[in-house]
Chains A and B, each alone.
Chain A
C-alpha cells in the first residue's frame, strides 16, 4: 500500500535506483499521514462526544417527545424536553438573516464580478471581507446596544430589549461576505466567452449578468446560499447576546420577531456556561441539542460541497 502510494505520488519522479534504504523517509511519511489524520479524528471525536450522551438522554426522554412536543423547560423544577421551540427560534432568526443576506450578498457579488472596475474592486472586496473578521460577540453587542436601541425602538415602540429581529438583521449582515465572496468566485469561473456571446447578440450588461452569468454560476451561488444558511443556524454569540435566553414560548409558539427567542445554539451556550452536573439529564440535553445541530449543519455543508464541485467540474 505505502510503496504503491509513494510511486504514484511522486509520479515516477523517484531516483531511478534506490542506493540504500531510507527509513527516515518512511518515518516522515507516517508522521505527515498522522497529522492529516487528525482531521478525521476530530470528526470522529465530535460524533462520539455528541452521540454517547445523546443516546443516554434518549434512554430517559423518548425521541418522539424530544422532536414533537412544544415545551422546552429543562432547567425548571418540572423539566420538559420538547425541542420545537428552539427549532422555531432558530428558524425565525435564520429566516430574517437570509432575507437580508441573500439579496444583499448576491447583489454585492454581481457588482464586484461584473461591474466594478479592477481598482475599485481591489478596495471594495477586502473592505467587505473585514466584516467577516469581526468577532461575533461584537456583532451581538452592536445588535443589542445599537440596532435594538436606536434603530428598531423608534420604529417598533413595543419591541422587547431582547428580540429576534435585531439578532436576525445583524446575523444577515454578518453572512453577506460569505455569500458574496463564494458567489463571486462562481461567477468569476464563468468563461468570458459566454459574456461575449451575449453582448454579440445585443444583450445589455444587466441582461448578460442576470440571464447568462448568474444562471451559468447557479450551482456555485446556491452553494454559497446553503453555506450562509448553515453559518446562520450555527451562529451562537449574536443570538445569545441579542435575542435573549428565554425559549420561544410554548405551547402556542410565537413567530413574533419583536420578542425574545432562544435558539439551539443559545440553549447550548446558556446551559453549558452554567454549572450543570456531569451525568444529569440537563447536562445530557446539551448534547442532544448539539447532535441535532450537528446533523442539520452537516447535511447543509454536504449539499454546499457537492454543488461547488459541480460548477468546478463544469468550467475547469
Chain B
C-alpha cells in the first residue's frame, strides 16, 4: 500500500491524439477485435465446410430428382424446392397486405399517445421474440385442427405469415417514418384526404424500404423449419405440391430429414442442399442491400 501503487497503467498520461496508449489499452483493443473475429471466422468455416462437403452433389440432379431413401447418390430435392416456393408464395400472399396495411394504420392513422396504440406496439415487439416453435403450436391447434385445413401448404403459409408479420410491420413502419412530414403536409394542404395522401404520396416514397423489409422477412420464412415440424412437413414427400391443399415439404425440412440419416451419403446430400438454400438466401439479402443502397434518397 505505497504511493507507487497508484501509478498503474490506467493513470498513465496519454497524449491528445490517443497515440502512445499503454500496453493494456492495446491488448484490450485486440481482445475486442478477436471477439468480433470469432463470429466471422465461424461463418467462414461453416460456409467452406458445407461447400466442400456438398461439392460432389452440387449437380443438376439436386434439383431434377426427387428425394429417395434408398438411393442417396441419386436423390435430389426437387419436391422440397417446389414446396418451398408454394409455401413462401402463400406466406407472402397473407403476410404482405396485412403487414403493410397494419403498419400504415400504426404509423399514419393511430394516435401515438393512446394506450391502445402502445399496447399494440408492445404486443408486436413481443410477437417478434416468441419462439418459432410456439407459432407451430398455434398453426397445429388452430389452422391444422380447429379450421381443419390439415397438414397442407396453406396451413404452413398461414403459420409462417403470422411468424414474419412483426418483421414486416416493423420494417414498413420504419420506411414510412423516413418519409419527411413536408410531403404529407403538402398533400393535405392541397385538399387531399388522409388516405389519398398515404396511398399516393407517403407509400410510394416508402416503397424501397418496404421492399427491403419484405425480402428480409421472406428470407427468414424460407429458412424456418421448427414450426413446420409440427405441421406435417416431415412426412416423406417425393412429389411436387399440386395446390394449396396439397401435402408438402420444404428445403430446411428436407435438410433436417437427411441429417437424421446415418449414412454419409445423406450428410453429403444435406450439405449440398444447405449450399442451395444459402445461395438463395444470400442472393435475396444481396438484392435487399442493393435496393437499400440504390434508393437511399436524401430528402
Contact = CB atoms under 8 A, between A and B. Distances in A.
Interface of A: 5-6, 8-10, 13-15, 22, 24-25, 28-29, 31-33, 35-40, 42-43, 45-46, 48-50, 52-53, 103-108, 110-112, 115, 124, 126-128, 130-131, 133-142, 144-146, 173, 176-177, 180, 202, 204-207, 227, 230-231, 233-237, 240-241, 265, 268-269, 272-273, 278, 286-287, 290, 293-294, 297-298, 301-302, 304-305
Which of A107, A108, A141, A144 has the most chain B CB atoms closer than 10 A to its own CB? A141
A105 B38 CA distance: 10
B97 to A, nearest CB: 7
Contacts, number: 295
Contacts of B281: 133-135
A204 B21 contact: yes
Contact of A204 (B14, B33, B135): B14
Nearest to B125: A305
A28 B25 contact: no
B131 A115 contact: no
Interface string B111-133: 10010000110111111011111
A290 B123 CA distance: 19
Contact of B134 (A29, A204, A294): A294
Contacts of B45: 146
12 contacts: A9-B109, A25-B195, A36-B101, A45-B162, A53-B141, A106-B35, A108-B36, A130-B282, A173-B39, A173-B42, A269-B230, A290-B133
Contact of A297 (B104, B129, B253): B129
B225 A173 contact: no
B210 interface: no
Contacts of B278: 134, 138
Which of A24, A29, A144, A273 has the most chain B CB atoms closer than 10 A to its own CB? A273
A38 B165 contact: yes
A35 B84 CA distance: 26
Nearest to B224: A135
Which of B45, B220, B259 has the most chain A CB atoms closer than 10 A to its own CB? B259
A153 to B, nearest CB: 15
Nearest to A272: B230
B299 interface: no
B277 interface: yes
Closest 10 CB pairs of A and B: A234-B131, A107-B35, A135-B223, A49-B141, A35-B101, A272-B230, A32-B105, A236-B226, A111-B32, A35-B102
B237 interface: no
A173 B38 contact: yes
Interface string B1-32: 00000000011011000100110110011011
Contact of A301 (B120, B129, B253): B129
A38 B131 contact: no
A144 B259 contact: yes
Given A50-B134, A290-B134, A128 B226 contact: no
Given A29-B195, A234-B129, 20 more contacts: A5-B109, A13-B185, A39-B124, A39-B169, A115-B33, A128-B39, A130-B285, A137-B255, A138-B278, A142-B50, A202-B11, A204-B22, A236-B225, A237-B252, A272-B140, A286-B230, A293-B131, A294-B131, A294-B134, A302-B126
A45 B126 contact: no
B234 interface: yes
Interface stretch (B66-74, B186-194, B241-249): B186-194
Interface residues of B, number: 102
Contacts of A269: 133, 226, 229-230
B226 A136 contact: yes
Nearest to A112: B36
B177 interface: no
Contacts of A302: 122, 126
B267 interface: yes
Contacts of A14: 188, 194
A14 B109 CA distance: 12
Nearest to A149: B267
B195 A290 contact: no
Given A202-B14, A269-B230, A142 B49 contact: yes
Contacts of B124: 39
Contact of B125 (A40, A111, A268, A301): A301
Contacts of A268: 133, 136-137, 230
A118 to B, nearest CB: 15
Given A32-B105, A206-B28, A128 B49 contact: no
Contact of B129 (A45, A110, A135, A227): A227
